[in-house]
Amino acid sequence: MFVLVQEGVEARYLEGLPAEVVVLPKQGPLPAEAAQAEFAVAPYGSARRFFEEIPNLKALKVVQTLTAGVDWILPRLPPHLTLCDGAGIHDVPVSEWVVGAILGAIKRFPEFRDAQREQRWAYQWVGDLEGSTVLFLGYGSIARAAEKRLEPFGVQFIRVARTAREGVYGFSELPGWLPRADVVVNLLPLTPQTERLCGAEFFARMKPGALFVNAGRGKTVDQEALVEALKSRRLRFVSDVTDPEPLPEGHPLWSLPEVFFTPHMAGSTHKLFERGFRLVREQLERYRRGEPLLNVVTPEKGY
């Protein structure tokens, strides 16, 4: 069996894979063996060449991403292919980013950094995380990992997701819970149901002065409504994602107060491919044995 992998993946991550590796080159002809590959690991980063070659991958049956979100790939795959997302790969780095984002905002690290660059001794009082209420909007494996890391700080949690279940509220109950949260962490994937979910009414219901943290997708937020809420000093904002990406020159988010963002890098750590190909190895073993694959994306899951 052959597995197609993007050019540039270090050999150490491919050791022990239960399949013959075929490399998808960035340029040049496609290897003949690629037509026999039943399993492909979608490129992490630019996937243009991969999408162009899909019609030539005659035996392809399964595509595995190294990303948790699949909005960038799902509409471009033929319906006969099985798509598996990378849920679990980014739990550690993104949950660490969430905790760092919350602590940095509460302790006002970005402002102190700005003052340092201006050589100002900008003493001010700051907040405590202890006793805060954190609302997770989207409650999957990343939210559970973040919750585990926040528990030692004495934080209370509200969990809201598309599908209500024990301990987790559904979207219909979100308006009633928003005013109770000191911190709202958005971890939603981008779907027709979540696009621009965080809009003017959403921000109006948030507790004045609350912190809004976005580690989900930029398009789940109505950017105009967000900017208006920030201009009115109603909330504070820390994000790893924007809409569009990259953020264009002159966009209000570059200069508005109480805003700090990073360039969609929360999951980009040096252990990404180590964790990612650990999942790929397990998936290939399951595929060879005819067992159900993990993280299969289906309409029933909400994608």
> Is there a single domain that holds both residue 72 and residue 96?
no
Query: Counting runs of H as helices and runs of E as strands, what totals does the chain give?
Result: 9, 11
> Is there a single domain that holds both residue 147 and residue 256?
yes
Look up the pTM and report it: 0.94
> Is there a single domain that holds both residue 163 and residue 69?
no
What pLDDT score does 301 carry?
Answer: 57
Residues of the chain with pLDDT below 50 are: 303
d(CA 22, CA 274): 19
Q: Which residues pair with 198 in a beta bridge?
A: 221
What pLDDT score does 300 carry?
Answer: 57
What pLDDT score does 226 carry?
Answer: 98
Please check whether residue 24 is in contact with residue 7, taking contact to mean a CB–CB distance below 8 angstroms: yes
264, 278, 281, 286: which one is catalytic?
Answer: 264
What pLDDT score does 251 carry?
Answer: 97
Please check whether residue 3 is in contact with residue 21, taking contact to mean a CB–CB distance below 8 angstroms: yes
What pLDDT score does 299 carry?
Answer: 65
> Is there a single domain that holds both residue 58 and residue 96?
no
Give yes or no: 245 in active site: yes
Host H or E run for residue 91: helix 91-106
> Is there a single domain that holds both residue 228 and residue 99?
yes
> Is there a single domain that holds both residue 191 and residue 164?
yes
What's the DSSP call for residue 301?
A: G
Domain span at 226? 91-261
At 22, which CATH number? 3.40.50.720
> Is there a single domain that holds both residue 253 and residue 292?
no
What's the DSSP call for residue 296?
A: B
- From the number of C-beta atoms within 10 Å of its C-beta (0-12, 13-18, 19+), residue 46 rates as exposed
Please check whether residue 216 is in contact with residue 197, taking contact to mean a CB–CB distance below 8 angstroms: no
- Across the chain, the runs of DSSP E, i.e. the strands, are 2-6, 20-24, 37-41, 62-64, 82-84, 133-137, 156-160, 183-186, 210-214, 235-239, 259-261
> Is there a single domain that holds both residue 110 and residue 208?
yes
Structural domains in the chain (count): 2
d(CA 38, CA 6): 15
| Strand, coil or helix: 139 | coil
15, 245, 285, 291: which one is catalytic?
Answer: 245
Give the residue ranges of DSSP H helices in 170-255.
174-177, 200-205, 223-231
> Is there a single domain that holds both residue 161 and residue 250?
yes
Enter the tokens of residue 226: 């967000």
Q: Which residues pair with 296 in a beta bridge?
A: 84
> Is there a single domain that holds both residue 206 and residue 144?
yes
Give yes or no: 217 in active site: yes
What pLDDT score does 298 carry?
Answer: 85
Q: Which among 108, 56, 62 is positioned nearest to 83, based on CA atoms?
A: 62
d(CA 286, CA 303): 23
Give yes or no: 264 in active site: yes
Enter the tokens of residue 65: 């991403």
217, 236, 258, 275: which one is catalytic?
Answer: 217
> Is there a single domain that holds both residue 73 and residue 136?
no
- Cβ neighbors of 98 (< 8 A, separation 6 or more) are 142, 146, 149, 185, 187, 213, 215, 266
What pLDDT score does 113 carry?
Answer: 97
**Tokens 């940095």 sit at which residue?**
104
> Is there a single domain that holds both residue 85 and residue 95?
no
